[in-house]
Amino acid sequence: PGEAMTASGPNDTTSGVAEHHGFYTRRRPSSLVHPVLWTKEQRRASTMAPGTANHQVVKRAMSMDDSRMPASSEVQSKCTFCRLALNSKANEVLYRDDDFVVIRDIKPAATHHFLVLPIRHMTDAKHLTASDIGTIKKMHEIGQTVLKGAGAPMDNMRMGFHWPPFQTIKHLHLHCLAPVSDMGYFNKKVAFRPDSWCFVTVEWLLNRLEAMTER
């Protein structure tokens, strides 16, 4: 999802391992940011003498991008989901703990359509790493709890993340939908189609993140 499509699957700018999903192949990118996408600081690190203090400090940025950095107050003020998550009195919030909130999707694609958001600003599923496995598992657990509490059929649900560039708001959020059988054709087969170009399931994402720990 989010990469150029070919007959064999998305093309990624980084090398990786091909993962087969039925009729197409998804290429799992490597954990490092491709040199084409390096920031000025990352390019500086590549030219510094190895072993120097400055080199070690800047080099750590070479496997990171802006989505991994703490959100500034400016980012939080502009992000719709940050404002909701940080507003303890927001009427839209159905569930809240120290790390996550749950809201209803303003354009529901199913009878029950909830979004689980981390309070900390995280951009999207594509930029997650193995260190985020616990976050995704907790979001999944919360989503199941909220769906069950709403009386949704647990054997007829769908949960997952939109993949860039198909994510409309750049703040990580887990879609929790039920019942799938009542969803319209477009939402069921295109917008929220499991492990497609635009939407990936929790299971697929966890497999991707866990594979990063094996490298």
Cite the active site residues: 173
Could you say which DSSP state residue 72 is in?
P
Class of residue 16 by CB neighbours under 10 A (exposed 0-12, middle 13-18, buried 19+): middle
| 124: Cβ contacts below 8 Å, ≥ 6 apart | 67, 161, 162, 163, 164, 167, 170, 172
Relative orientation angle of helices 202-212 and 133-149, to the nearest 10 degrees: 160
SS3 177: strand
CB of 206 closer than 8 Å to CB of 136: yes
Assigned token pair, 4: 């150029």
Please report the sign of the dihedral spanned by the C-alpha atoms of residue 146, residue 148, residue 152, residue 158: positive
